[in-house]
Chain A
Amino acid sequence: MEHALIPPAEIAILGIPGMVLALLISVVGIAAFGYIIARRLIPLAKGASDPRFDRFPTRIKNVLLYWLAQYKQPRYRLAGILHIVIFIGFLILAIRSISLVIIGIYPEFVFPGLDGTAGTIYGVLKDYAATAVLIACVIAGVRRGFFKPDRYKVPAKYGKEHTWEAIFVLGLIGGLMVFESLFEATAVAAQVQQGAGAELIAPLSLGWLFSVVLGQVPVPALQSMHAASYFLHDIVFFFFLCYLPFGKHFHVISSIFNVIFSKLDRGRIKPVQWGVSDEELDNLDAFGVRYLEDFTWKHMLDFYTCVDCGRCSDNCPANAVGRPLSPRFISIKARDEMFDRFPVLGEIKPREPLMGRVFEEDAIWSCTTCGACEEECPVMNEYIDKMVDLRRAMVEEGQVPQSLQKPLGALEKRGNPYGKTEKKRLEWTQSLPEEIQVRVAGSKDQPATLYFPDSATSFDERLQDIARSSATILHYCGEDFGILGKAERDSGHEVRRFGEEMLFQTLRDANTQAMDKSGAQRVVTSDPHAYNALTKDYENIPPAQHMSQYILEKIQSGAIKLRPMQEEASVVTYHDPCYMGRHNLLYDTPRRILDAIPGLTRVEMERSRDSSFCCGGGGLMLFYEPPEEEERMGQKRARMIAETGADLVVSCCPFCLTNLEDGIKTSGMEGKVRIMDLTELVARHLDWDQTESPEAAESTGSST
C-alpha cells in the first residue's frame, strides 16, 4: 500500500535521518535496560540458595492461573478489573510496541504471522486494547489521586506517600496509548484526504477518534504529528522500560518469574538453610536472616516484585488490631534497602544488620503466621518463611521478647510451655466416664491409633474438654486408641515458627521416638497446629489426621450417627482456623460435619474460608505480649461473628476456642454468642442408641 505520509525512518530530524535516530534510541534504550537489570540481579546472586527448579507442570499451571488469568485480582473488585484490563491490554500491545520500534529502522517490517487477515484482526484488537487501557489508566489515576483508597496510605513511620509514583506511571502508560494511536490516526487521516484506501481503524477506538478529529488537518501538519508521535512513543517506551526496575512497577517484568518460582508447599517452613541437613546444622556459623544477603534469592525477588498494593496489610490481623506490623512495608522497606545497597549507578554499599534499621523486632514478633497476606498477594509473595528466618537470627542473638522466654524455657525443661510436670499430661482423662478408657501407649500397650492432644489441650482446663470429647468420639467409633501420656512433648509447631529451630528439633525427635515406641499405625489430633506439624514438619511417623477428617470419614461410613441439633442455637457459623484452612485447605471437611447434624442452620461470615481472620494465634503466640495493640484479634473476630446473627460459633482448634471465647467475653457478647469446638459439638450429638454405652452421652461435654 502506498504511504500517504513519509514513514519516520525516512524523514530527517535536525538533519539526522529518522532511521539513525530510531536506531540510536533503541540501542541506548536496550543497553540501558540490560545494564539496569544486570545491576538489579547482583543482590539475588549474592542471596542464599533456594531450590525452585522442580515440579514445572505445577509451576506452569500457576503462571497460567495467577499470572495470565490474574486469578487473585478480582478479590478486590474495581482495582482487580482495572488491573486485568491494563494487563491484557499490555499483552496485546506488546507486539504493536515492538513492531513500532522496529518500523523506525526497517519501515517495511511486519510482525511474523501478522500479515493479511491476522494482521487486520490484530489491528482492530489492539486499537480497542489501547482505548481500554487508556480509559482504565484514567479511572485508576482518578482513583489513586482523588479518591485515595485507605490501603494505599503510607503511615508516617514508613516514609512518604507513593501516590506520585503510581500516577506518573499511569501517565506513562496513557502516553504510550495516545502516541501509538496518534501515529496511526495521522496516517489514516492523510490517506483519507488523499483519497487513498485507508487502513482499517476500529470504530470508536482512540485511534479512530483521533483520525476523525484530524480529518481536516493539512497533510504537512499531519506529517509532523506522525513523526513526532512516533519518536515520542519510542522515547516513552524505552524510558518506561528502564524506569520499571526503579519502583513498584518492577512487577511488570518480574511478576511472571515470581509466580513461576513461587512456593508450592503450603504450611511448610523452609529449612534453616537449603541443602543443609539437620545433622549438619551445627556446622553453620549463623542461623536466619541478619543481613539482606541472608535472604534467599527468591525472597529478594519477592521484594522487587511487591506491587505496593496493600492487600496483604489490608488483610493482616496484626495490622488490623494496631500491632506494629504491616507486611506491605516488610517488602517495600526491604526493596528500598536492596535499591540503596545495590544502586544502579555507584558503588555497592557494605552490609549492615537489618534489625532496628530496616525492620523492627516487634513487627517481626507480631506475626501469627496466619497466612492471610500470602493468600491475598496477587504476585504470590511469601511472608511466613521470611518472618521465621528473621526470628531465627534474633533467637541466635538472644533478642527474644521477655514474655516468650519463660514458655521457651519451660518447653526446653518440661516439653510444654506452661512448665507443668510431665505426669500432668494425663490429668484430663480423669474426669472421663469409667467406660471410656484412655490407654497410655508405649512398648507394653500398643493401640493402633494414637490421639495426640498437644500441650494446650492437655493442660488448659477449658481446652481439656476437647481432649475428652475427642476420646469420647474415638470410643464411640470403637477405635483401638491411646495417648503417649508422659512421653508426649509439645509438637513444637510454634517453637519452629518462632525461630527456635533446635528446640523444635529436640521436641520433634522426642515425639518421633515415643510414637515409634508406641507402635501406633496412625495419629489423630484435635489441634490443627499439631496436625500441620505432624504432617509437614515431622518425618518417619505414622500418617496423621485431624479429628475433623476422622469424624467425616466415620459419618460417611455410617459409623457415626448424629442426633438432631441439641444446642439452643438458632444459627451456627463456622470460624476457619488458619492451620485448617489456608495452610491445609480443609475448608469443607468441618462444614460437612456441621451440615450432617440434622436441624443445624449454618451461615457464613464475610471473612471466611481463605480470607478467614486469625483469632490471635496459637502456641507461643498466646504468651506474647505485643507492645502496641488497640484490641485483641479475638475481639475483632467476635464482632464479625456477631454480625452474622449466629448465636453459636464452631471452630476446630484449641487456640481459636481460647481466643474467641476471650474475645466474646471481653467485648460484651457473653450470653449472646457461644463458642464450641467441633469435637465438643459432635460428642454431644453422638447417637448412643446405636451403640452399647449410653451413659457416656450424658457425661461428656458437660463443662461448656
Chain B
Amino acid sequence: MNILVCVKRVPDPAENEIEISSDGSDIEREDLVYSVNEWDNYAVEEAIQIREQHGGSVTVVSVGEEESEEVLRREMAMGADQGILVSDDAFEGSDGRGIATILKAVAESGDYDLILTGAQSDEGAAQIGGMLAAMLDQPYASLVNEIQVQGGTKLQVGREIEGGNQEVSEIELPCVLSIQSGINEPRYVGIRGIRKVSGVEIPEKEASDLGLSEDQVGQKAARVKRVDYFHPEMGEGAEILEGSTEEVAEKLVELLKSKGGMK
C-alpha cells in the first residue's frame, strides 16, 4: 500500500511560551522552536506500521517554508521512504481550502492508496483532511484511532465516540483518514537517526510543478481570513489563583473543599 502522510511544522506548546503579538494577528514567533505537529507524528507512525505489515511505501509531504524540510527529515528518520517539500511564495496566506488544494495536487501527482493527515494542527481547525477528501472525491473518516487493513481494497477504522465507546467502520480504498493522537506509540527519533538521512535528497515542488495557479492558492484565493487573536477575558465566576505552585495548590484545595468537591 502506498501511503501519503501530510505533515506540518508547528511551534510545540510544550517547548515554547506562546504569546500573542502586539497587533493581535499572530503569535510572537521570535524565540520559538518548532517540531512536527503531534497528530501528524502519530499518522506517520501508523503509516510505517501498515507498511511494515503489508508492504508498500510511505511518503511524507509538507507545505511550508524551507525550514519544513527538518520535519520531513525527522519523519524520514522515523522510517518514511521519501519526502516532498512543497514551498512557494505564492502559497503565502493560504486558508484551509488553499492548503487542501495544494495537497490535492500533490496527491494526484503520485499514486497513493491511502492519505493520512493529523486530526488537527496548531491552528486547531481540523479541516484539511475533510476538504482534501472532498476535492479528491474520496471517502473520508475523521479522528481515526484504529486501522486494520482488510485485503487490498478496504480498511476497518475505529473512532472513539461519546462516553468512551468505540465505533468501527469499513471504508473503501483509496481514502483519506485524519488520525487521532494515541492511535499508537510513535517511535523515538534521535539525533543519530536524523543524521543518517541527512544526505537523502528531498525534492522541492513549487506551484508551477503542481500545475497550480495564483488564483487557486495564497492570499488572493483565501476566503477565510484571521481577524484577531486574544486571550479570553475573565468571565464572571472565573478566578485565577496566584502565587507559588505550593500556594496555588493550597488555595485550590481550600476552594475544592469549601465547594464540596473534595472532602
**Which of A414, A423, A703 meets B15, CB within 8 Å?**
A414
Given A406-B14, A419-B15, A502:B190 Cβ within 8 A: yes
A120 within 8 A of B: no
Q: Is the CB of A461 within 8 A of B245?
A: yes
Scoring B residues 6 to 24 as 1 if CB is less than 8 Å from chain A, else 0, what string do you get?
A: 0000001011110000000
**Is A412 located at the chain interface by the 8 A CB criterion?**
yes
Which A residues are CB-close (under 8 A) to B193? 396, 398
Q: Which residues of B contact A244 (CB under 8 A)?
A: none
Per the 8 Å Cβ criterion, residues 487-503 of A in contact with B are 500-503
How far does the alpha carbon of A27 sit from the alpha carbon of B192 in the complex, in Å? 55
In the complex, A434→B246 CA distance in Å? 25
List residues of chain B with CB within 8 A of the CB of A281: 192
Verify if A266 is at the interface (C-beta below 8 Å from B): no
Given contacts A398-B187, A399-B187, A406-B14, contact A413 B192 (CB under 8 A): no
Over the window 470-504 of chain A, the binary record of Cβ atoms lying under 8 Å from chain B Cβ atoms (1 yes, 0 no) is: 00000000000000000000000000000011110
**Interface: B242 (CB within 8 A):** no
A278-302 interface code vs B (CB 8 A; 1 in, 0 out): 0001100001000000000000000
- CB of B255 within 8 A of chain A? no
Interface residues of A in 419-451 (CB under 8 A from B): 419, 421, 423
Q: Which residue of B lies closest to A703 (CB)?
A: B244
Nearest chain A CB to B47's CB is how many angstroms away? 14
A421 with B14: CB separation less than 8 A: no
B190 touches A413 (CB 8 A): no
Q: How far is the CB of A202 from chain B (nearest CB, A)?
A: 66
> Given A408-B188, A419-B12, A421-B17, are A502 and B31 neighbors across the interface (CB < 8 Å)?
no
B3 interfacial by beta-carbon distance below 8 Å: no
> B192 to A412, Cβ gap below 8 A?
no
Can you list, as one digit per residue, whether each of B233-256 has a CB less than 8 Å from chain A (1) or not (0)?
000000000001110000000000
Across-interface contacts of A461 in B (CB, < 8 A):
244-245
Residues of A within 8 A of B188 (CB): 395, 398-400, 404-405, 408
State the Cβ distance, A623 to closest chain B Cβ, in Å: 12
Docked CA distance A287–B12 (Å): 29
CA distance A471 to B190 in the complex (A): 36
Tell me which residues across on chain A come within 8 A of B14, comparing CB atoms: 406, 409-410, 419
Chain A residues within an 8 Å CB radius of B35: 409, 413
Q: How far is the CA of A281 from the CA of B33 in the complex (A)?
A: 27
Does B12 lie within 8 Å of A282, measured CB to CB?
no
* Among candidates B15, B16, B78, residue contacting A409 with C-beta atoms closer than 8 Å: B15
Kindly state the separation between the CA atoms of A410 and B16 in the bound complex, as whole angstroms.
10
Q: Is the CB of B191 within 8 A of A502?
A: yes
A402 and B41 CA atoms in complex are apart in Å by 13
Contact of B195 among A402, A405, A409, A502 (CB under 8 A): A502
Alpha-carbon gap, A395 to B188, bound state (A): 7
Q: Mark A258-285, 1 if CB is under 8 A from B, else 0.
A: 0000000000000000000000011000
In the complex the two chains form, what is the Cα distance from A461 to B189 in whole Å? 30
Q: Tell me if A397 is interfacial: C-beta within 8 Å of chain B.
A: yes
Flag if A412 contacts B16 (CB, 8 Å). Answer: no
Task: Bits for A104-144, please: 1 = Cβ < 8 Å to B, else 0.
Answer: 00000000000000000000000000000000000000000
A-chain residues with CB within 8 Å of residue B108 when the two chains form the complex? none
Residues of chain A contacted by B17 (CB below 8 angstroms): 421
| A254: Cβ under 8 A from any B Cβ | no
User: Is B162 close to A, CB under 8 A?
Assistant: no
Q: What is the distance, in angstroms, from A501's C-beta to the closest C-beta of chain B?
A: 8
Q: Are B16 and A402 in contact (CB under 8 A)?
A: no
Q: Which residues of B contact A462 (CB under 8 A)?
A: 245-246
Contact for A502 among B12, B192, B244, B245, CB less than 8 A: B192
Decide yes or no whether B185 CB sits under 8 A from chain A. yes
**Alpha-carbon separation in the docked complex, A506 to B192 (Å):** 11
Q: Are A396 and B190 in contact (CB under 8 A)?
A: yes
Which residues from 173 to 216 on chain B have a C-beta closer than 8 Å to any C-beta of chain A? 185-193, 195
Decide yes or no: A396 and B192 within 8 Å by CB, A402-B185, A413-B35 being known contacts.
Answer: yes
A423 contacts which chain B residues (CB < 8 A)?
31
A400–B190 Cα gap in the complex (Å)?
A: 10
B192 contacts across to A, CB distance below 8 A: 281-282, 287, 396, 501-502
CA distance A124 to B213 in the complex (A): 105
Bound complex: CA of A500 vs CA of B192, how far in Å?
Answer: 9
Q: Is the CB of A398 within 8 A of B189?
A: yes
Known contacts A412-B191, A502-B192; A398/B31 CB under 8 A: no
A531 to chain B, nearest CB (A): 25
Inter-chain contacts of B189 with A (CB < 8 A): 398
Residues of A383-413 at the interface with B, using a CB-CB cut-off of 8 Å, are: 395-400, 402, 404-406, 408-410, 412-413
With A409-B35, A414-B33 in contact, do A397 and B12 touch (Cβ < 8 Å)?
Answer: no
B246 surroundings in chain A (CB, below 8 A): 462
Interface string of B34-71 (1 = CB under 8 A from A): 01000000000000000000000000000000000000
| Cα–Cα distance between A421 and B190 once the two chains are bound (Å) | 21
Does A282 lie within 8 Å of B195, measured CB to CB? yes
Residue of B185, B187, B244 touching A397 (CB-CB under 8 A): B187
Whole-angstrom distance from the CB of B95 to the nearest CB of chain A?
29
Kindly list chain B residues whose C-beta atoms are within 8 Å of the C-beta of A409: 12, 14-15, 35
Q: How far is the CA of A397 from the CA of B245 in the complex (A)?
A: 38
With a 10 A CB-CB cut-off, give which of A399, A423, A461, A502 has the most chain B CB atoms.
A502
Contact: A413 with B187, CB < 8 Å? no
A462 to B244, CA, bound (A): 9
Tell me the bound Cα distance from A395 to B186 in angstroms.
13
How far is it, in angstroms, between the C-alpha of A703 and the C-alpha of B244 when the chains are bound?
A: 10
Q: Closest residue to A423 on the B side, CB-wise? A: B31
Cα distance A400–B35 in the bound complex, in angstroms: 18
Q: A402-B185, A409-B35, A461-B244 are in contact. Are A421 and B16 (CB under 8 A)?
A: yes
- The interface residues of chain B lying within 8 Å CB-to-CB of A412 are 191
Which residue in chain B gives the minimum CB-CB distance to A406? Answer: B14
The closest CB in chain A to the CB of B77 belongs to: A398
Given A395-B188, A396-B192, A400-B188, also A413-B245 (CB < 8 A): no
State A419–B195 Cα separation when bound (angstroms): 23
Q: In the complex, what distance in Å separates the CA atom of A406 from the CA atom of B188? A: 10
Beta-carbon nearest neighbor of B187 in chain A:
A398
Complex alpha-carbon distance, A164 and B186, angstroms: 45
* A500 lies within 8 A of B190 (CB): yes
Q: How far is it, in angstroms, between the C-alpha of A399 and the C-alpha of B244 when the chains are bound?
A: 37
Bound CA–CA A321/B191 (angstroms): 33
Q: How far is the CB of A414 from chain B (nearest CB, A)?
A: 6
- Between A and B, 26 residue pairs with Cβ closer than 8 Å are A281-B192, A287-B192, A395-B188, A395-B190, A396-B190, A396-B192, A396-B193, A397-B187, A398-B187, A398-B189, A398-B193, A399-B187, A400-B188, A402-B186, A409-B35, A410-B15, A413-B15, A413-B33, A413-B35, A414-B15, A419-B12, A421-B16, A421-B17, A461-B245, A502-B191, A502-B195
| Pairs of residues from A and B, 7 with the lowest C-beta to C-beta distance, nearest first | A398-B187, A400-B188, A419-B15, A502-B191, A413-B33, A502-B192, A398-B188
The interface of chain B, by Cβ under 8 A from chain A, is 12, 14-17, 31, 33, 35, 78, 185-193, 195, 244-246
Which residues in A have some Cβ–Cβ distance to B below 8 Å? 281-282, 287, 395-400, 402, 404-406, 408-410, 412-414, 419, 421, 423, 461-462, 500-503, 506, 703
Given A399-B188, A409-B15, A506-B191, 5 other A-B residues pairs in contact with their CB atoms under 8 A: A405-B188, A406-B14, A413-B33, A462-B246, A500-B191
